[in-house]
Structure 1
Amino acid sequence: MSLDAFAMNLIQRVNVADILRRSARQHRHKPALVSGQESVTYAQLDADVDRVARALQARGVGRGDHVALMFRNSVDFFRVYFANARIGAVSVPLNPSLTLAEYTHILTKTRPRLLLAHGGLAEVAGRITGAHPGLPVVLVPGGGGEDAEALQAESWAGFLDAGAADDGVAGSVDAFVEDRDPVQVIFTSGTTSAAKGAVASHLAAVFAATSVVAHQRLTEHDVCLAIFPNHHVAGLNNSVVPYLMVGATTVLRDGWNAAAVAEAIERHSVTMMISTGPMLLELVDRHGGQFDWSTLRLVILGMASVPADRAAVVRKLCPDVELLLASGQTEFTGYEEAMRREDQATKADSWGNPTLFTDVGIMDDSGRLLPPREVGEIVYRGPQSMNAYLDEPEQTAASFEHGWFHSGDLGYLDEENTVYFVDRKKDMIKTGGENVASVEVAQAILKLDAVAECTVVGLPHERWTEAVTAFVKLREGPTLEEGDVIAHCRSELAPFKVPKRVLFVEEFPRTATHKIRNVELRKAYADLYLAANGQQST
């Protein structure tokens, strides 16, 4: 490679790590990330990233190599993530709560050069290395349990020292990286199927961040609370990366805790955050009025809005807040639809309109784009699309059929190009020859004051093919019987849509971003309608 080609690459390229470098020059002494007692400025973070990048290069890691990251939300995760990006390596963030079989699936697919793990996750890292003894591990201090020697892992200090300059003076790290080179492989949450690795490029990640900046109207004056885990696009590409792009301060929270979040909003004068509807309602129900949340100007709600009466309570506590729904998929790196401010009251049940760089269409099974108000599969185009599913050529081809990315969601557009979600294609229940949208049934049940959360699935049934089955989590205090829910549904829904059974649960199986894993409910209750004598129950 000639020097000229490298020079032109540095001049013209799109690289996620350049986001941080530019912000460090503009906001040197401003806090970039705050995590617990640790606060790091933009200049410090950028210098730390260079140091980690040199250490990775000293280990032989370079362009196209996969590096597994297993961290809780922390500054160290972003030191490593941006260091990988800076040298062209590919980050593979791991969810710390997976099973060994799930880790094996991911590691077999990605074949990482090494694993960097948070010290508090040493036990999990030990289980992984026990099953994959050839995988080198670097243990990063924090959270206790960081006994690198016992784990036969390299210490963080030793890892960094290996990349130190001989004369003690080190400059910025640069490497040849193309725009469409992978920057990350994030495995889908798998609510309906086995997890697949979505390979996102630098270009996709930068376009996604820019789109978020535009929709959220982010500025350097914002203080952003990051709740979602950094191994998910919601906690990485929809949160911290765009915040760093504009020079905002990001407060990292490790896991969901309503009391801690309520206090953090007041203590840090938080201006915006991303949440889910149930998270926001728990925050308000348990801690509303106990803290000053007057600085909060924006809450982005992931995937589902909150009822109008509950939104009114939120606005009373936070007079200037806007509640805007946004929806996205791992395969498209950021979010693809976002609610416009003027639609908060009039289109609260919508997903919003396409984001800055996204085209949205509605397609039938033959590949024909449908006119407004007709239901079909929601499909996308745009530069923030993934490159592919890692080592899944057939799945990739199917997802990109007819020149659009197929989301697996059913919905429709109105005359103003606003997107309305109907159901997941796999969550459409076929019962007695009729199609029932599980979301419609769940929304009817959620009208009951005693219901905190609800999901509806179809379970195998000899007579009905699939039986409409509701799973309900109650609020603290109120009681409700199965018959009460069924009677309510009969007053709200057509007879064939009424659940055959209503099951009450203490908690739902969830993904890392708090979405309910319907696939686990289907597996666990597959035999629900089989009576003790082996006959199908009604």
Structure 2
Amino acid sequence: MLTRSAAHYGDRTALVDGDVELSYAELNARANALARGLLERGYVRGDAVAMQLQNSWQFVATFFAFAKIGVVAMPLNLLLSPSDIAYQLADSGVRGVITEDVFLGVMGPALAEAEGGMVTEVIVTGQAPTDVAGIPAVSYDAVFSADRSSVEVIVEDRDILHCLYTSGTTSRPKGVVTSHVAVQIALLGSALGLGLKPDVKASVMPIALPLFHVTALDALLLPSLAVGTTVVLLRGFDPAAVARTFSTHTVTHLTMLPMMWAALLAQPELADGDTDSLITGLYAMAPMPAELLARVRAQFPNAAIILGSGQTETTPASELQWEGHQGVKDDSWGPATVSTDVAIMGSDGSLLPAGEEGEIVYRTPQLMEGYWNNKDANTEAFANGWFHGGDIGYLDEDAVVWFTDRAKDIIKSGGENVSSVEVERVLLGHPAVAEVAVVGTRDDHWGEAVTAYVVLSAEVEGEEIQAWSRERLAGFKAPKSVVVIESLPKTATGKVQKNLMRK
């Protein structure tokens, strides 16, 4: 893919990483040089290598270097503890690790705890020591070959491109292995849904979400680079930095979490930029309150502000709202993307008609090949010939997907099923509620009591919010208690860890 993009968009800027700007031709040349250097060091098709890298040109060049020679990329969540990393290194059996010198304080203990596993060397960007936890280390720059010409290695369509570990909110993280062709099909669907297309003038997309996550990698970065977009890499979310990109670039596409959109709107610097240039604004991972959605659309009047959904296993995006759904089906997930078939399955394995609620299931060539080293999980995930993502919802008459809740987050209270998402959506309408997570807590009378944990933007008592919710929800759905807390526990990608809240 990068070879083709370099041929079509050679001198066009592919990446902006701080003061570094790389053209498509230069990015491809660096990926070739690194790929050749890895081959010279003995890496072969099918080897796996962990990547502990921030959003940077090194991440992108490394990812494509691996792809060119059939090496499996395993990006690591940068917020993982040494024990979490040790588990993933041992479980995946990676041969090497590429890390930054700033992360050696974490990677060293991880390698020591994993007792090295199968890791034979550590490649370090920045200042490289001679070894890490007794494993030989080498400088990242020293791995590059002087030969920057195209590298030719046989790589089959269904060879594994990357292994991404799930967030592990309910059990040990599972390694999701996905093929080259699955990602290629997924990125084309995302490009179409986001309105990314080849043209003589480049689209511009800042990426503040972490590239170690499937959303930023497969649904944002790769679709962008397939069609000649200029990607502005941000080392984490800084709302002021995102705001400045609207002054320094003609930003056409932007994807963030709802809370990130809210923080962006609060930046005075945004007034100095060209917000009329935005074509598509995507939000994901959580619902956006109606009031915030209205403010985002007012700030970016020429943009479609839409929701996208998907899972690591289905290689997002799986569902994307259409521009025409704005103001009509804002609370939906939108229709399936062009290469994805979505259905609703009952508990007996039968497919349900429109309007009936059940588990959301998928058939698509962009599915994962399976979970690494986890036969039981694969059997469960692909029961009855469809992939089961663990979400509950229904299809309407237009085949638009409406999400009810995660199966494990449905609250069973007093013999009734309560959608935590529905309650959260109502509570987010309260002017003093900034964030909320609703879970079921053990209760002798109700079985599970609907409990809301809220982060406030203004002083208000939990009892007032509770009374407010009773006016807008059925009695059995209204929270039995509202607990005010400073912040919600979240993963690195902003997903609320409801398992911790239940504990």
* TM range, smaller chain: over 0.9
Larger displacement relative to structure 2 (99-108 or 358-367): 99-108
Spell out the pairing of 1:65-464 with structure 2 (5 A cutoff): 65-134=47-116, 135-142=119-126, 146-149=127-130, 151=132, 153-160=137-144, 164=145, 169=147, 171-220=149-198, 221-287=202-268, 290-292=271-273, 293-464=275-446
Shift of 1:521: 1.4
Shift of 1:306: 2.7
**Count, aligned residues:** 494
- Residues 169 and 424 of structure 1: CA distance in aligned 2, closer, same or farther (over 3 Å): closer
Q: Distance in 2 between matches of 1:190 and 1:344?
A: 33
Larger displacement relative to structure 2 (89-98 or 192-201): 192-201
**1:25 aligned residue:** 7
TM-align CA RMSD = 1.6
* Residues 2-41 of structure 1, C-alpha deviations (whole Å, 9 max, x = no match): xxxxxxxxxxxxxxxxx11100011111111111111111
Q: Distance in 2 between matches of 1:170 and 1:283?
A: 40
**Does the Cα contact within 8 Å between 2:97 and 2:121 map onto a contact in 1?**
yes
Structure 1 residue corresponding to 2:498, chosen from 506, 512, 518: 518
**1:535 aligned residue:** none
Q: Distance in 2 between matches of 1:39 and 1:348?
A: 37
Structure 2 residue corresponding to 1:497, chosen from 457, 462, 477: 477
Shift of 1:171: 3.1
**Does the Cα contact within 8 Å between 2:214 and 2:312 map onto a contact in 1?**
yes
Shift of 1:315: 2.7
**Does the Cα contact within 8 Å between 2:435 and 2:456 map onto a contact in 1?**
yes
SS of aligned partner of 1:294: helix
Kindly provide the amino acid, as one letter, of the partner of residue 193 in structure 1: S
**1:4 aligned residue:** none
- Residues 124 and 137 of structure 1: CA distance in aligned 2, closer, same or farther (over 3 Å): farther
Correspondence 1:59 to 2:37: no
**Does the Cα contact within 8 Å between 1:276 and 1:302 map onto a contact in 2?**
yes
Kindly provide the amino acid, as one letter, of the partner of residue 142 in structure 2: G
Q: Distance in 2 between matches of 1:312 and 1:443?
A: 15
- Residues 498 and 312 of structure 1: CA distance in aligned 2, closer, same or farther (over 3 Å): closer
* Residues 139-172 of structure 1, C-alpha deviations (whole Å, 9 max, x = no match): 4435xxx342364521123333xxx3xxx55532
Shift of 1:497: 1.8
Spell out the pairing of 1:26-45 with structure 2 (5 A cutoff): 26-45=8-27
**Does the Cα contact within 8 Å between 1:85 and 1:183 map onto a contact in 2?**
yes
SS of aligned partner of 1:416: coil
Structure 1 residue corresponding to 2:462, chosen from 470, 482, 490: 482
Shift of 1:414: 0.4
**1:7 aligned residue:** none
**Does the Cα contact within 8 Å between 2:404 and 2:421 map onto a contact in 1?**
yes
Shift of 1:281: 1.5
Percent of aligned pairs with the same amino acid: 39
Q: Distance in 2 between matches of 1:265 and 1:120?
A: 30
Q: Distance in 1 between matches of 2:247 and 2:464?
A: 40
Kindly provide the amino acid, as one letter, of the partner of residue 179 in structure 1: D
TM-score norm. by structure 1 comes to: 0.89
* Residues 411-439 of structure 1, C-alpha deviations (whole Å, 9 max, x = no match): 00000000000000000011222211111
* Residues 245-298 of structure 1, C-alpha deviations (whole Å, 9 max, x = no match): 001100011111111111123212211111111211121134475332222121
Shift of 1:508: 1.4
**Does the Cα contact within 8 Å between 1:68 and 1:114 map onto a contact in 2?**
yes
Q: Which runs of 5+ in 1 are unaligned?
A: 1-18, 524-538
SS of aligned partner of 1:492: coil
Q: Distance in 1 between matches of 2:235 and 2:5?
A: 24
Kindly provide the amino acid, as one letter, of the partner of residue 111 in structure 1: G
SS of aligned partner of 1:234: helix
Q: Which runs of 5+ in 2 are unaligned?
A: none
SS of aligned partner of 1:256: coil
* Residues 366-423 of structure 1, C-alpha deviations (whole Å, 9 max, x = no match): 1110011111000011010000000111111110111110010000000000000000
SS of aligned partner of 2:445: coil
